[in-house]
Each structure stands twice: as structure tokens, then as C-alpha cells.
Structure 1
Amino acid sequence: MDGDGDSDGRADVPAASAEAEISGAVVPSAAVDLLSDLPDDLLVYILLHLDPVDAAEAARTCVLSRRWRDLWVQVPSLVFLCLNPVGCARVHAALAARARAIAAPDITRLHVYYFAGHSFPPTASWLSLAPPVLSGELVFFKDWQTPIAANELPTDIMKRTAFELPCFKKATKIYLHLEFLTLLLPPSGAFNALTELKLEQIRFDGQFILGDSMFPSLKRLLIDNTLGLVDLALNSSSLVWLKLSHLRGLQRINVEAHSLELLCVVHCLRYNVQVARFSMEGLKVLRWRDRLDPILVNFSEMPHLQQLTIFEFTPYGWPGSNPNQDLFRIINHFSSIQYLQLMVSIEPDLSDTESKMEGITSLPNIEILSLVLFSHGHVIGASVLYLLRMCTGIRELSLKLPENSEVLNTCPLNCICDQQPNWRAGHILMKFLREAEILNFRGEGHEVDLLKLLLRAAPGLRRLRITCHRYFAAWERLSEYSQRLAGHHSKLRSVEVSQVMTPLQP
């Protein structure tokens, strides 16, 4: 094709229909410019690098010449930013043009971000056009113009609006953020190629059943922040990664996923749960931040489990409370674990509290222990020492101190966190410990005392890594000090002291 008036033998796609509806452009009569003489694949590459890769921006190139008129439909990645209901009409027009195009490649990325008020236009008009032309990633993000909490959403809006998801047989990833619209799955069909499904801020109509018949290839599933989900049933032979978080109102959950390798559960079983069953013999990583009533929650054997992360260990609490009960129950489920990560949380105000450390009387046999400390300015030595006494056979230890940009001086004189001054001179022997690291070190007195304690307690320590907090200016002097300490340690061969880089200010 040499110009607008010439034909190259291809069927004409009306310029004033789909392209004009998407971009508002009108095709002029003009000679082909030098840019249009470039090969199609290079021109598509140029369209792909529009910032952002917006379908309307790509469609506007139809004004250049008839050569460009069909070219934008060759772009495999489309992003729509819909600031009002008219935006959905543009999505419909783009997908309709895509369906009519001859030999157009499948869409590998279709993102629709809808930022509007409470009114929500029908989605079926464009969603029904997407499955045949999409073989990659679908993202639909619905958000109110003004953020609204889940318990403040207008009830009538949630009842009368729904998101009807058709069957995407070729899509590989789907991410839906629906601002608590009701999700309706197709009554039949299979998402044959889908490997990843993320559902956030979804409202369910009581039950959600996910199985191999509809999702035969699913490997990763995230369900976060839901309403109306009472009964969750997951039966998958392909699933390897599963995160469930803040499933409000959940009463029953049954997970059968024998190939599952990672499970994370956060605040799903605290209030209404009646029964929870997890059958996952292949599990390798378990992250648990939830209730664990042994009468209601049932785990299968997990012979391959390697990593366990538990939220959270509370060293101090109100008299009469038992904040570590669920933690103790899940720890007792295992006799040994390769890697244990504990989140240690000390409340900012410890007045009128008492020690709750005694609620944990034993830990499994552990090879690697990681403690993530949220201390809010309190002394951590007593809490750390108490835990270390129960796992003296570890070979690696990691202590992550708070990342707060400023030290919170909330710890008053004679605070309960430091009423056990003997922890600084504590006698503990960790003869198998070979590597230790401390992150976000600030050089405070109680942190230095804890460092000394570790060096005394681990005669076989070979390697010590200290990463100082970005605002700790004396880290080089700490390096010299650590080297002197290492000189008195018969086995220590490597001491590394570095500093977290301060992020650049915008």
C-alpha cells in the first residue's frame, strides 16, 4: 500500500466506527509518511511503548493513514483507564474491532481500571467479547472515587450489581478487584489455561466451589478481603500456592490440594468458623496468623513441611489473658521443623501487663530460627533469650529488629520489658550455632548486650552478619568493635558489618 487512496487487497475496516468510537479520531486523507513505511512488526513495537499502553492512544494512530488503521489491533497489550461509564463503551468497541480484525494476534494483557462513582455499568457487553481474543492476563480493577469501608458500602448497590465472569478458556492469569460486587462464575466451561487467580474485595453469594473441572491447570490462588463467603470448598490436584486472608463470615472451609506447597491463612477462622479441614500432604511452607482450635481445625499429616511462619508471639499481656494459646497449639502440631519464623510483638504500652512468655513451654526441633521483632522501643533481650533457651540446637539464627525510621522512646523507667536485668548475664549454650545475623541494628545499649550474649553463648559460631539501620551513623565504629569482639572468639572466622542504604528522597 503506497497511500490512502491505494488498496493493498485487504478488506477495509471502517475508520469511523470502532477506531472513532475508541479514540474520537477521524481518518484524514493524507499521503503516507516515512514512519508508515516501516515494517509492521516495528510499528507494533512502537505502539507497545506508548506510556501507558492505552488502547485509546493506540487507536488514535488510525488518523495517520489507512496503513495505520488496522495496525493498532495488532498490539497484544491493552490498558483502559475508565474514569466514567463511557470508558466501558470504549472497551467494548476495542474488543469488537479486535474480533473483526483479520489475522490479529491474541491479546496477552488486557487491563481495565474503572474509577467511578457508585453507579456501575453492565460488564457483560465487553466481557463476553474478551474470551475468544485473550490468551494471557486479564485484570479488572473496580474502585470507588472515594474509598469506602466494607461495612459502609450501600447495601442496595451490592445487591443489584454483579460481575458475571464468562469462561476464559485461553487466559493464563485473572486478577479481579471488585469493590465488593458479587462475583458470578459461569455455569459451565473450563478455564483450561488459567494458572493464576487473584480475587480481592469480592462479595460471594454464600458458597464458592473451586475444582479441577473448571480450573484444571490452576497453580496460584489468592482470595483476600471478602464478604458473604460462608462455605469455601477447594479441591485441586494442580494448586501449589494458596493464600486466604480476611474472609469475613466464613463458617466452613475444606481444602483438598495434595500438591499444595505453600499455604498462608490470615484472619479467616477467628469468629464464625464451624469446621476447617486442610488436606495437603505435599505442603512445604505454612504461614499461619489465625485461630487454631483443635476441635474445629483439622490438618492432614505434612511430612514434607520445611518452613513454618507464625504470627505472633506476645511476650506481655493483660492479666488473665492467654494471647499465645493458638501459637502454642500449632507449634505442638510439629515435633521438628527445618525453618521456624516467629513474629514477636511487644505492645507500645506495657503498663498493667504481665509476662506471657511462660505460655510457651517448648518449641519443636529447629535448624533455622528467624525472629522478627516489633518492639515499639522496648528492650527485646529478655524475650529473645526466653525463646533461645528452648531451641539451643539451632544452627542458624536471624534477628530482625524494627525498621521504624525513628526510635520510639515509649519505654518508661522500670518497664516490665527490662525488669529482668539478669538476661544480660544469662547463661545459655548454643553449641551447634554456626551462622547468625542481626538486621536493622541501631547500636543501642540493650542491642549491644544481646550481641555480647550471642557471642558468649555460641562457641562454634563461624559467621556473623550485622546490617545496621539506615539512620545509624556509627556503623563503621561498630565494625571495629565487632572485630575486637571476634578476636576473643576462638571459632569466629567472618564478621560482616554493613548499613542499609538510605532511600533517595523524591
Structure 2
Amino acid sequence: MSTEQSGGCGGGGEVAAKRAKASDDESGAGGEDRLSALPEDVLVLILLRLHTWEAARTSLLSHRWRHVWTLLPKLSLCFFPESRRLCDALYASEVPLRYLLIGAPDVSPQSLAAWLLVAARRVFGELLLTNLFPERSVEDSDDEEEATEIGAFEMPCFEKATSISLDLGFLAISVPPNGVFARLTELSLSNVRFHGPGDLGDAVSSPRCPCLQMLTVRNTRGLDRINIDSESLRILELKNPRGLRQLTVVAPALRYLSVMQCFLDDQNQPIPIVNISAPQLEFLSWVDTYDPSSVHLGNMEHLQTLETFFFVYGPHGFTHNRACLMLLPRFKAIENLTLSLAYLLEETTCSSGCICDQPTDWKTEELSLNHLQELEIGEFRASEHEVAFVKRLLNWATVLKMMTVTFNHSITENKAKELFQIFRSLSKPGVCMKIYIYRKFRKVLYAPEN
């Protein structure tokens, strides 16, 4: 082992070079390489002090070092050159990996398929794989989608991994039709085009995924239906699975459910069919269409927190608002309600029957919110109607314990102080009130002088 071979391998490489040089000075050209003679587990301990890429470069030192780096229990490979050579070397090893991070720009389908095979063979802990392609988006043309699906490949079955996070940059994969993800507890799929006959719902249900506790699906294409039957699932997050028309979830242990923009962008498509059976659910975030004739949420008597949103101004019969108004009466007793007041980005001319012209009976109407304990309001602009509405809420919520208001960045500190005093005077004794304002575009907790 020579100095030229070891140089450039980080701190560990320099040490190896110096030791080898000292040995050569003592014994001549045929001196013994004492470092390479160390036991393999000791060499692994040395490489643990290096970054993954530096450790991989030690494979160039000699035949003895060629595969030592592949024995490391944790590997982070980002923006790596010669990926095929590294991939082949990792596949040849049988040492379990507790952690594998792979991140590279514009990975080809062939390369991605090869890396997933390595991960399925080696990872018995956590896998994170990200295809960095900022120029591709879910709004790509149908021609590109068709071209992408030509290169679609089947995702392998991960029999040993416990946590998987895949961000594929909208490359196309098909779900394996069989096999058991025996140890998997967490699965996150982002920016994926699903292709082929495989069924995601079948793959993540209890018979094939008996330990799954957390499932996240974001920004996907190709999923027209998701049918999940899981005894173990506790957290489910669905955001913008474009084209989804049917959602069925049977999850007796589910505690947290978030459904966001799953059906909003497809209003011209057939009415979505949703059936949720989650009797232990405690948290529900529903930012989507809702019609009780087609969306069945089942028995949720343990629900504690509900999140949804409402457009303050918009056309008469606005789909988003109609969904909110039908969803809220569905729950008679909610301890924590988060209602986000949303505003259209562009000003619109009021049409006939606009909400602006509706009777203002709500100012005198009496509602019973005698179970509401926590109230959170975001992007509060302090318009006359908003302030009046909050005043009514404080009157209706007789057992309120916590109130959090985040003002829009346009609200000055003096205005925030004025409103804080108004809300404090109207709230019941013992209500904890938190007010957030923006200072130089940073959200900070407002602390009144008195």
C-alpha cells in the first residue's frame, strides 16, 4: 500500500498512508502492510469514522480493502459518482444495514430499480431514497407520463426493512402483487406514478404488512382506488393522490387521519366514494370535498380534534365551503376545532347570491358549543366580520380552555394589542390565550406589556 493510493481518503486514509510509509521505511520496499492485516471488524471501526463516500474510496487501496466499506451498518450516499459500481458492491454483501440513505439527481428507472433491489436485500432498518428532479412535476403532460410508464419497474418486497421513505421524482413503479413486508412499521411514498396491476391497498393491509403503523402518500398519480384493511395502522396521511376516486379504510387502531386535496381537483369526475371505519380515531384533518351521501366516516365517538377550512369569500355554492358546512354538523361534540379561514388569491366580482349579500342572522343566532375546549384561528386579518364572528364564538364556547390566534402579517402590533384586550374581556376566566404576530416576516408570540 503506497502513499499515493491512500491520499485523498480523508483523515482515515492519511493515517493509513503514514503507517504504511513508516513500515516501508523500516522494512524496505517489501515491508509489511500492518494496517491491512488488522481483523475485519477493526477495519470497520476505522471506516465508521469516515463519511460514506470516503469509506467507499478506501476500496481502491488494495484487494484487502475492496469490500470492507460494504460491511458498514449505516450508509449515506448522496450525489455519488460511479453509482453502478457501488450498487454492485453493496448487493454482493450480506451484512444487514440498519440505515441506508440514497439521494441523487435525476436517477434513471434502471438505476433506481437496481438500488431498490440492494435495499430489499440488505436493509433491515431504515431506508430513505430521494430522486432529486426539481424540473419534473405532477402536472407533466400525458406524453411524458406515457413515456415514463414505459420504463416502469416493479418495486421489490422489503421483507426486513422497518421504515421506508421513497420520493421518486414521479418515476413510475408497480406495486409487488405478492410478498410480505414482515417488519415494516412506517411507509412514506411521495411523487410517485403508480403503474401496472399491483394494488397499494392490498400491499399495505394486514395480511402483507402486519406491523404497519404509519402510512403517508403524497403527490401521486395512477391511484384510482385505495382499499386498506389494517389491524395495526395508527397514522394515515393522504395528500393529493391525483385521480383517486375510491377510498376505503378499515383500521380499528387508527388514531390519526389526514385527507387533503384527494378529490378537490377532479370535480368533473364521478363522485368519489369514501368509506372510513376507524372507531378509535382521535384526530381528523379533512381538507377536501364532503357529501354525506358518498363520504361515510363511520362511528368516531372518540374524536377529539377536527381540522378543516372555509373560504371567506367565493361564488355562491362554492364546493369547498359546501363541504365544510356539511362536515361540521356531522360531529356533535368536538373538544378541539381548527377552522382555517382561506382567501382566494385573486379578487373576484360578487355574483348573484354572494355570501356578502346574505342575511346577518348569525350575529344574533345562538349556537351551542358547550364541549369546545380549544380554538385556533390562523391568518386572522381582523376585518369587521371576522372580529364579530370571533366575539360570537367566545360567547358560544362556554367551556373554552385554550384560544390561539395567528394574525396575518399585515396586522400591526398596536392592532394586535387592541384585539387581544377585546378577546380577553369577552373570554371566560381561566382561558389560556396565545396571540401570534409577524415581526420582519417572522412569527413570534405576542406578549402584552401589561
Q: Tell me if structure 1 keeps the 8 A contact 2:274–2:295.
A: yes
Deviations 1:391-444 (A, max 9, x none): 243222221223x4xx3xxxxxxxxxxxxxxxxxxxxxxxxxxxxxxxxx8423
- 1:188 to 2:178 alignment: yes
- 1:151 to 2:149 alignment: no
114, 122, 143: which one aligns with 2:104:
114
Deviations 1:468-498 (A, max 9, x none): 544499x999643xx2xxxxxxxxxxxxxxx
- 1:443 to 2:430 alignment: no
1:58-97 superposed matches below 5 A: 58-64=55-61, 68-82=65-79, 86-96=82-92
Deviations 1:82-136 (A, max 9, x none): 567x52442122222x23xxxx4x101122223137x532544443343332211
- 1:384 to 2:390 alignment: yes
SS at the partner of 2:400?
coil
More displaced stretch, 315-324 vs 392-401:
315-324
Matched length: 410
**Letter aligned with residue 213 of structure 2:** K
Aligned match of 1:265: 259
Identical amino acids, percent of aligned pairs: 28
The alpha-carbon distance between structure 1 residues 187 and 467, as it changes in their structure 2 partners (threshold 3 A), is closer
379, 393, 411: which one aligns with 2:399:
393
More displaced stretch, 70-79 vs 453-462:
453-462
Aligned match of 1:374: 379
The alpha-carbon distance between structure 1 residues 347 and 129, as it changes in their structure 2 partners (threshold 3 A), is closer
SS at the partner of 2:420?
helix
Deviations 1:442-465 (A, max 9, x none): 4233x3332222222235236555
SS at the partner of 1:258?
coil
- 1:458 to 2:427 alignment: yes
- 1:221 to 2:215 alignment: yes
TM-score normalised over the length of structure 1: 0.70
More displaced stretch, 33-42 vs 281-290:
33-42
The CA RMSD measured in Å over matched residues stands at 3.8
Within 1, Cα distance between the matches of 2:342 and 2:368?
Answer: 18
Deviations 1:164-219 (A, max 9, x none): 22121110011111222232222322111000011111122375323112111100
The alpha-carbon distance between structure 1 residues 230 and 396, as it changes in their structure 2 partners (threshold 3 A), is same
The alpha-carbon distance between structure 1 residues 265 and 449, as it changes in their structure 2 partners (threshold 3 A), is same
Aligned match of 1:486: none
Aligned match of 2:294: 296
The alpha-carbon distance between structure 1 residues 129 and 302, as it changes in their structure 2 partners (threshold 3 A), is same
Q: Tell me if structure 2 keeps the 8 A contact 1:328–1:359.
A: no
**Letter aligned with residue 398 of structure 1:** T
32, 37, 57: which one aligns with 2:54:
57
1:33-52 superposed matches below 5 A: 44-45=44-45, 47-50=47-50
Q: Normalized per residue, which structure has more helix?
A: 2
Within 1, Cα distance between the matches of 2:448 and 2:229?
Answer: 53
Gaps of 5+ in 2: 6-16, 24-31
Within 1, Cα distance between the matches of 2:332 and 2:399?
Answer: 14
SS at the partner of 2:405?
strand
249, 253, 275: which one aligns with 2:247:
253
SS at the partner of 2:222?
strand
Within 1, Cα distance between the matches of 2:83 and 2:251?
Answer: 40
Cα drift, residue 334 of structure 1: 1.0
135, 138, 145: which one aligns with 2:124:
135
**Letter aligned with residue 142 of structure 1:** N
Within 2, Cα distance between the matches of 1:478 and 1:254?
Answer: 46
**Letter aligned with residue 97 of structure 2:** I
Q: Tell me if structure 2 keeps the 8 A contact 1:62–1:69.
A: yes
1:300-311 superposed matches below 5 A: 300-310=298-308
Within 2, Cα distance between the matches of 1:227 and 1:252?
Answer: 14
Q: Tell me if structure 2 keeps the 8 A contact 1:331–1:363.
A: no
Q: Tell me if structure 1 keeps the 8 A contact 2:434–2:445.
A: no
Q: Tell me if structure 1 keeps the 8 A contact 2:137–2:170.
A: no
SS at the partner of 2:200?
strand
Q: Tell me if structure 2 keeps the 8 A contact 1:76–1:108.
A: yes
Within 2, Cα distance between the matches of 1:125 and 1:38?
Answer: 33
Q: Tell me if structure 1 keeps the 8 A contact 2:242–2:262.
A: yes
**Letter aligned with residue 395 of structure 1:** K
Within 2, Cα distance between the matches of 1:92 and 1:363?
Answer: 66
Deviations 1:248-305 (A, max 9, x none): 1111111111110000000112333431100111101101100001111001101211
Within 1, Cα distance between the matches of 2:400 and 2:193?
Answer: 45
SS at the partner of 1:305?
coil
Aligned match of 1:163: 153
The alpha-carbon distance between structure 1 residues 365 and 349, as it changes in their structure 2 partners (threshold 3 A), is farther
Cα drift, residue 233 of structure 1: 0.7
The alpha-carbon distance between structure 1 residues 209 and 319, as it changes in their structure 2 partners (threshold 3 A), is closer
**Letter aligned with residue 131 of structure 1:** A
Q: Tell me if structure 2 keeps the 8 A contact 1:224–1:246.
A: yes
Deviations 1:333-367 (A, max 9, x none): 11111211111224466675554796987575433
Q: Tell me if structure 1 keeps the 8 A contact 2:59–2:65.
A: yes
**Letter aligned with residue 58 of structure 2:** T
- 1:209 to 2:201 alignment: yes
Q: Tell me if structure 2 keeps the 8 A contact 1:337–1:365.
A: no
Within 1, Cα distance between the matches of 2:141 and 2:320?
Answer: 30
